[in-house]
Amino acid sequence: MSAYRTAAGYSLLALAKNRLALILLAVFLPLWITVAKTVATPDLFPFRLRASGEILHAGGDKITMISGSLNAVSLLVGFWMFSAARRTGAFDRRLTAAGYPRGALLAAKLTTLLATATVVSAYAVGWMLLYWRPLQPGLLVLAVLAASLIYGAMGLFLSLFLPGEVEGMVAIIMISIIDLAPQNPVAATTANNPLITLLPSYGSLQTALQAGFTHRLTITPLANSLAWLAALSTIALAAFFRHTRTHPAPTTRRSGPVHAYRKR
C-alpha cells in the first residue's frame, strides 16, 4: 500500500509540474466554452438524437457549447496524461528494474487518470452552467467524464509509442477532430451516418445532448464509451508491462583453468 501511495504522489506531482496543461485548463477551456456560447447562433436547430430516435429542437449555441466542451476536455486530458507518462517513462523503467512493484505503478497511473478526468470534467461543466441550465446536470458531468477518460487512456497509450510531446499533441488533436467534427448536429451533414456510432466520443456526445435537452435517462450510448475505454486501457497497460519488463542478467559460464605454455 505504501508503494502505491508513493507512486500516486509522484504521478500527481508530475501532473502539477506541467505548467502548459495548467494554463490550458485555466484559460483555454473556459475560453473555448465562452466563444462557443457567444459566437454560435442561439436559433433553434432540429436534430435527431440517435440514442432515442426522437427529434429535438435546441439552440445552436448550446449544441456547439456541448460539442466544444467535449473537444476541449478531450484535448486537455489526453495531452496532460501523454505528457506526464512521457516524462516519467524512463523513471518507471528504472524503478521496475530495481524491483519496484509494477502493480503499484499501474494503480497510481489509473488513479491519476481518474482524478485528472474528474477535475477537468467538473470544471468544464461548471463553466457551462454559468451560461446555461441543462435539464440533467449530473448526466452531463457523466458524459463529459466519459470523454475525458477515453482520451486520457489514449494519451497513456500514445505515450508508449510516440517520441515526443509535439507528436503526441498533434496526434491527439487530429484524432479529436476526426472524432467530434462529423458528429456535431449543427455543423456536420454526416451526423446521422451509422458509422458515427463507432467513433470514440459517440456515447459521450449523445449522452450530453440527452442530458441537455431531455428528461430521458438512457445510458445505453455510454456502452460505446466503456468499450473504447476498456480497449485503450487494456492495450496501454499491456504495452506498459512490455516496456517495463525486466530481463534476467545472462549467466556466464566459468571456463576451466587456463594453462600457459612457454615455447622452448
* For residue 190, pLDDT beyond 70: no
- Vertex 56: Cα angle to 118 and 174 (nearest 5): 45
| 251 falls within a domain | no
| 124 falls within a domain | yes
Q: What domain range is 125 assigned to?
A: 2-243
* For residue 202, pLDDT beyond 80: yes
| 249 falls within a domain | no
Q: Would you state the pLDDT for residue 263?
A: 45
Q: Would you state the pLDDT for residue 188?
A: 63
- The single residue listed with the C-alpha cell 432540429 is 46
Helix axis angle for 165-180 and 137-159, nearest 10°, is 140
| 43 falls within a domain | yes
Give the DSSP H or E segment for 150: helix 137-159
| 52 falls within a domain | yes
Please tell me the least confidently modeled range out of 135-149, 214-228, 250-264: 250-264
Backbone CA torsion sign across 81, 87, 93, 94:
negative
| 137 falls within a domain | yes
| 259 falls within a domain | no
Count of domains for the chain:
1
User: Is this structure's pTM higher than 0.75?
Assistant: yes
| 100 falls within a domain | yes
Helix axis angle for 102-131 and 60-97, nearest 10°, is 160
